[in-house]
Amino acid sequence: MTRDEAIGIMRDVLHQVAPEADLGEVGPEEDMAVVLDLDSMDFLNFMIGLHERTGIEIPELDYPLLATVERCAAYLVAHV
């Protein structure tokens, strides 16, 4: 998986979780949950969506490693 593919998946999943949220609004190093106003339920659904799309089992302790767009994409690329 490339970085761009990872970001495409993130965008798809985010669209399902929070249809009005736009990944484009988030700066590369900004916290997605903060900028997009995702609560813990939204974030969990985002993680579940990424898991369903990629098969990656993301441990809860790793959630902070997926907080920004770039880190999340890098995590997916590294673990797929």
Biggest CA-to-CA distance, the chain: 28
Instruction: Classify residue 68 by its DSSP letter.
Output: B
67 binds other proteins, rule: CB under 8 A: no
Quote the least distance from Cβ 26 to other proteins, whole Å: 16
Count the residues of the shown chain that bind other proteins, applying the rule CB under 8 A. 28
**Residues 12-41, interacting with other proteins (CB under 8 A):** 12, 15-16, 18-20, 37, 39-41
Name the DSSP letter for residue 67: S
Q: Is 9 an interacting residue with respect to other proteins (CB under 8 A)?
A: yes
Residue 39 CB neighbours (<10 A):
10
Applying CB under 8 A, the span of 24-32, 54-62, 66-74 interacting with other proteins comes to: 54-62
